[in-house]
Structure 1
Amino acid sequence: MVKRQAQHIQVDLQRQQLRLLSGDACIASYAISSARNGAGESRGSECTPRGLHSIRLKIGDGLPENSVFIGRRPTGEIYTPALAAADPGRDWILTRILWLSGLEPGRNRGGSVDSLRRFIYIHGTPDSEPMGQAASHGCIRMRNRELIELFERVRVGTVVEIRERC
């Protein structure tokens, strides 16, 4: 059993909402977009994994808003509608990445259900993408400015609980 820190994150997949909590008090709330395929843990499912996770790595500190990432590395590009037009249908990873690691062996850690090896992140997305509805390929998308705010408030090791309904 993992003891939650005073500060932790709850993700409610039904409400498409992420809340930053300090103890039981909500200190920030954000609309998100999780997987269009729903909740699930299996590799290749393009589902958002449930259960307890922690932030394994924070990537992108100090980069400009709308910085483009490929393979968790900044490309040096800044997202624009013209860039998007050149690569339609791409699931853009922008601004910051909070890379999640599962904390529950057999559920979201290890084998074919390992969230870290599935590259499950909380990441930025273009402002044109809808929030409040499931549309991602498995990750949790956020508005770039809101992600920067969250990124600055959390640390590596912060517990993230992903539930179908909180």
Structure 2
Amino acid sequence: MQASIQVRYLHISISDQTLSAIEDQQKVFEFSVSTALNGHGCEQGSGKTPVGKHYIRAKIGGSEPLNAVFVARRATGEIYSEKLAQQFPKRDWILSRILWLCGQEVGVNRLGGVDSMARYIYIHGTPDSEPMGVPKSHGCVRMRNTDVVTLFDWVPVGCPVMIEV
């Protein structure tokens, strides 16, 4: 990976299940992702991935190890394993890093019943056993753990994120 990358914005394609990192008008990397099983939409409680203009409001977990487990944006001290997964079979695993998204379009993905930040929409790591390239999440954008750690280091807080169908 290139350590000197300074990502200017991210583009997430729901139809392609990809996240592209853009620097100086050029795609510098593309990651396979998993968006919502329920499709795209911005409504609170929908379990859908929101569309439109967003930005990274917060970066969480920069000093945590690979596969660190997060609950309510806090590291639990656990490291994901199959044994832990068997203990908590219903958990929506949020691992390694969190990039918390905030919508920029009032009435579309910001404020009221469509607020991406209030919906806790993240780009985050997921167990390596979960498939990428197919919609399976509860609304967030899931990535491979090594990919989200790499991306975390490339993007600043405030980085624009466009999510499109």
Fold shared by both chains (TM-score > 0.5): yes
Q: Distance in 1 between matches of 2:158 and 2:62?
A: 16
> Which residue is equivalent to 2:83?
82
> Which residue is equivalent to 1:138?
139
Secondary structure of the 1:147 match is helix
Q: Distance in 1 between matches of 2:16 and 2:117?
A: 24
> Which residue is equivalent to 2:130?
129
Secondary structure of the 2:44 match is coil
Q: Distance in 1 between matches of 2:25 and 2:137?
A: 29
Q: Distance in 2 between matches of 1:66 and 1:122?
A: 14
Q: CA deviation at 1:97?
A: 0.1
Q: CA deviation at 1:88?
A: 1.2
> Which residue is equivalent to 1:23?
24
> Which residue is equivalent to 2:161?
160
> Residue type of the partner of 1:35?
A
2:116 is the alignment partner of 1:104: no
Q: CA deviation at 1:24?
A: 2.1
> Which residue is equivalent to 1:61?
62
Structure 2: segments with no counterpart, 5+ residues? 1-6
> Residue type of the partner of 2:151?
L
> Which residue is equivalent to 2:53?
52
Q: Distance in 1 between matches of 2:46 and 2:24?
A: 33
Secondary structure of the 2:11 match is strand
TM-score, normalization: structure 1? 0.94
Q: Distance in 1 between matches of 2:157 and 2:109?
A: 18
Q: CA deviation at 1:89?
A: 3.3
Post-superposition Cα deviations, 1:75-123, rounded to whole Å, max 9, x if no partner, equal 0000000000111132100000000000001100000000000000000
> Residue type of the partner of 1:37?
N
Q: CA deviation at 1:62?
A: 1.5
* Fraction of identical pairs, as percent: 50
> Which residue is equivalent to 1:3?
none
> Which residue is equivalent to 1:38?
39
Aligned residues: 160
Q: Distance in 1 between matches of 2:161 and 2:147?
A: 17
Q: Distance in 2 between matches of 1:56 and 1:149?
A: 18
Post-superposition Cα deviations, 1:12-39, rounded to whole Å, max 9, x if no partner, equal 0000000000132001110000000000
Q: Which runs of 4+ in 1 moved over 6 A?
A: none
> Residue type of the partner of 1:100?
L
